[in-house]
């Protein structure tokens, strides 16, 4: 069962509004946090597989919001006062992580000012006083707020989301909820079905972001969105570049699936790929073509014909050659080729 810090949201009477009022009056102005994605008063969910740097993703987003910088492809209209409630990482590690990211992004203390705060709640009660001027509150990760309840416990999940709803409404903030995927390859599932445990979360948010491993590129993720109030956004690819994410417009947004993994495992390297890789073997001198093909077969599990085509491909490259000497064929650098005997 949830712990005592998780209480059902308080019930307030609702006064219906006349449709005539809607027709005769202009609606209130929107207050976009990230244009085309979510506004103040909305709930944004970020879902990604475990160990896919989703906490880095949300940390980078909050830093951008606090400084007024654009975040990836989204425009930030103005700097925001943000609060990160993080329940998972020890403060000493979060401290180092934030310093490294800000330095890599070129964010100086005076640029961020006092607009971003962090509440380190690992092993502590899941209750925190929000600064009154706070505009965006991020909860990372969601399962730590369940107080020991199972993620597939719909009532516990609904209770936590109800409390977040109450904070959103009473304090006029935008809520960011960070959650992890179920086991398996997330690229196999529809965006709306992402996230471990109860499906309550999928029906609750105003905007959802999912990160999915790219099908071929290491350190690349495909960003997909599910939006309630704004037009759809085309999938795009981001790349982890050491301390933060950047857009990767040169990489098609193709997600990893069981099929792509199986195809990659079955795919054999091309002769050119084998030739390029094997150049390093010849730095210390030529090798017999027989030994060259045997090594390719052993390291890459390729057949004799493919290994032979790789040796031919390598011999055609500038600076390399294949020759016969003492009854055997050799391959190596052109500079290591024995001089031809003059008759």
35-93 tens-digit pLDDT:
999 999 999 999 998 888 999 999 999 999 999 999 999 999 999 999 999 998 999 99
Does residue 261 sit within a domain?
Answer: no
Quick one: 196 and 325 in the same domain?
A: no
* Mean pLDDT of the 315-341 span: 86
* Mean pLDDT of the 160-166 span: 81
Quick one: 191 and 296 in the same domain?
A: no
Last residue of a domain, one of 202, 230, 256: 256
Quick one: 252 and 276 in the same domain?
A: no
Last residue of a domain, one of 236, 256, 276: 256
Quick one: 100 and 213 in the same domain?
A: yes
Does residue 143 sit within a domain?
Answer: yes
Q: Please give the mean pLDDT across all residues of the chain.
A: 86
| Residue 125: pLDDT over 70 | no
d(CA 275, CA 21): 74
CATH number for the domain including 298?
Answer: 1.10.10.10
Quick one: 200 and 292 in the same domain?
A: no
Strands 116-120 and 136-140: unpaired
The answer for residues whose C-beta is within 8 angstroms of residue 30's C-beta and 6 or more apart is: 39
Does residue 33 sit within a domain?
Answer: yes
Q: What's residue 299's pLDDT?
A: 82
Quick one: 165 and 214 in the same domain?
A: yes
Quick one: 213 and 298 in the same domain?
A: no
Quick one: 289 and 241 in the same domain?
A: no
Q: Which residue has the tokens 């290491």?
A: 218
Does residue 10 sit within a domain?
Answer: no
The answer for residues whose C-beta is within 8 angstroms of residue 56's C-beta and 6 or more apart is: 97, 101, 240, 244, 245
Does residue 87 sit within a domain?
Answer: yes
Range of the domain at 221: 19-256
Quick one: 195 and 319 in the same domain?
A: no
Task: Output the CA–CA distances (angstroms, integers) from residue 257 to 157, 194, 264, in the order listed.
Answer: 28, 14, 11
Task: Output the CA–CA distances (angstroms, integers) from residue 40 to 54, 92, 277, 343, in the order listed.
Answer: 22, 31, 52, 88
Quick one: 69 and 214 in the same domain?
A: yes
Q: What's residue 170's pLDDT?
A: 81
Quick one: 153 and 301 in the same domain?
A: no
How many domains does one find in the chain? Answer: 2
Last residue of a domain, one of 200, 225, 256: 256
């Amino acid at each position: 069962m949830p712990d005592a810090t998780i209480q059902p949201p308080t019930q307030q009477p609702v006064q219906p509004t006349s449709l005539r009022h809607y027709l005769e009056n202009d609606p209130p102005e929107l207050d976009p946090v990230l244009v085309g994605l979510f506004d103040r008063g909305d709930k944004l969910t970020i879902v990604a597989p475990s160990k896919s740097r989703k906490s880095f993703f949300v940390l980078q987003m909050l830093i951008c919001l606090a400084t007024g910088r654009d975040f990836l492809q989204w425009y930030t209209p103005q700097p925001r006062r943000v609060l990160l409630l993080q329940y998972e990482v020890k403060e000493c590690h979060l401290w180092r992580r934030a310093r490294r990211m800000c330095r890599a992004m070129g964010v100086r203390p005076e640029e961020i000012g006092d607009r971003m705060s962090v509440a380190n709640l690992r092993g502590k009660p899941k209750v925190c006083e929000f600064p009154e001027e706070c505009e965006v509150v991020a909860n990372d990760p969601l399962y730590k707020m369940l107080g020991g309840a199972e993620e597939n416990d719909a009532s516990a999940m609904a209770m936590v989301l109800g409390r977040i709803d109450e904070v959103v409404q009473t304090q006029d903030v935008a809520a960011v909820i960070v959650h992890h995927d179920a086991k398996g390859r997330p690229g196999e599932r529809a965006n709306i079905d992402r996230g471990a445990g109860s499906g309550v979360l999928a029906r609750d948010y105003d905007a959802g972001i999912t990160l999915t491993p790219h099908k071929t590129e290491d350190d690349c993720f495909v960003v997909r969105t599910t939006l309630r109030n704004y037009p759809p956004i085309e999938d795009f690819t981001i790349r982890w570049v050491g301390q933060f994410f950047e857009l990767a417009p040169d990489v098609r947004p193709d997600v990893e699936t069981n099929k792509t993994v199986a195809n990659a495992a079955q795919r054999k390297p091309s002769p050119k790929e084998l030739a390029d890789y094997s150049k390093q073997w010849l730095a210390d001198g030529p090798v017999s073509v027989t030994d060259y093909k045997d090594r390719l077969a052993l390291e890459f599990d390729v057949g004799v014909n493919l290994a032979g085509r790789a040796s031919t491909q390598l011999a055609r490259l500038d600076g390399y050659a294949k020759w016969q000497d003492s009854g055997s064929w050799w391959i190596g650098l052109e500079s290591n080729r024995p001089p031809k005997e003059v008759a």
